[in-house]
Structure 1
Amino acid sequence: MSARSPATAASPSTSSSISTRWSSRRQSERGSMRFSFGGGIADWTFAHGDEVVIGAFTGNNAVVVGGVAITFWSDEQAGTQYDDLLDTDGQPITVVLSEDGAGFRSKGQIAPFRGPDGITKMWAQAGDNGPRALMVTTDAADTTNDPGTVWPPLSIAGLLSVGTGRHRLYNDTESNLTLASARATLGTPGSVDTVLDINRNGSSIFPAQTGRLTIAAGQNTSGKMAPLEVVQLNPGDYITVDVDQTGGGAGDLVVQLLMMQG
């Protein structure tokens, strides 16, 4: 896809496409997974040139321009700027400069670079006022959807009682993980609701205790429940589960967590 600016040459635009791109390697640095961007058939900066008329249509020539600073964002219009980037040599950068034509790349070309940890798409903005264009990782052909991993369950054998969770499940990977969902199961249902709290590093993941994992009276499972907010576990973070309410003979608890990359 491409986007062209209605402004003058002072506000160049970016053009980005995920078709006909060469494959590029990934980098794992300090336990992170950075994806590659740029270097594609339509990754260039350009500005509007002279007005031209072709039949019934009036438009402008597209002029390739180099040395343009490109910033990257999480949203097309607002969002957060991504400034944790790596250039082709693996050096930290906050913006990408399109080529000036002095080297082996053509003027205006956006050279390959790597984005922040786990980010597979960004909105690119050339100059201060140019419109943003979506850039998708050039590793897209090698990237598959993460179906998630069910962690080994936290379990309590026998009759349940209210208490603070003592058993910890640590993120011992070298990647950030996101809690996608949780499910609680009772081997013996109780005659009252069983309410569980999930903690990250000792603090509840449920704001104002709303939406806690609950197994209704007489039922065996809470069903698959997603957190109300994004819950990310950095390497070394841990999960515990508290029993906030139970009774009526409830017993043999199992809590399983579905974790995803990023």
Structure 2
Amino acid sequence: MANWRNKIQIDENFERDLALLSGNSMGIYFQFEGIHKMIIHFKPLNEVFSEEVFKTDSGVLVNFERDLIDEDDIEYALDVMSLFNKYPQFVLTEGGEIAKVQQVIHLLKTEFCNEEASYIMLKTLLKVLLLHLIRHQNNNFLEQDLHQKRVFKFLELMETHFLNETSAEFYANTIGISVKRLNQILKEKLNLTAKQIINQRQITEAKRILVKSEMTAKELAFKLGFDSISSFSRFFKKHVGLSPSDFKKH
């Protein structure tokens, strides 16, 4: 199948230690508790599912790479980041809403298992599913802890400013805490420092542009805030294992 098969994973029969797509993937586990209850568990970037997840045989796991949402507009990407970072799970109890979510999951599974599956169709169905969950979350606000709010604020700021602001100091100052405290919170919640998360976002964007556009490596280096093509090439090869030009060829 096409390379997009490596970007999404849907499974009903799996073990607790099922391999994730990558550290840059996000996951949702839909746990079915009869017709009047669905527990939805979220795995944000760079995290793992709670130990409480997968204790039932009745569920569906959906994992997908971050670039499936980065290809759309930034408002949608921020809504998805919010969905995954506000809290680790929520519960649906309204029968009509559960039926809607189950219907979209069914369509997503059917397309995924189709030998002639369409990448655009899968991506669209995934977006419909995420938008359903975003709408439910916005209509049913749950209290967030302060650290979780700061994590989301950092991620929100980074999505808007990462092309121009790559220092942890900018984000810490905007949030109103020290760099040390910001890194402590991010390490606790995401197991990465601010700089590591920014670097990861730069790499994701660099890959997207290399694949989707005719921008030269030099133009891309300056777009991402590097002062020279050589420094960008070293940075890219360190994180990806290939030079920008070799990655584009592959």
Please tell me the TM-score bracket, short chain as reference.
under 0.3
Which of 1 and 2 has higher RCO (CA within 8 Å, sep 6+)?
1
Name whichever structure is richer in helix by fraction.
2
Structure with higher Rg: it is 1
If the length of structure 2 is used for normalisation, what is the TM-score?
Answer: 0.21
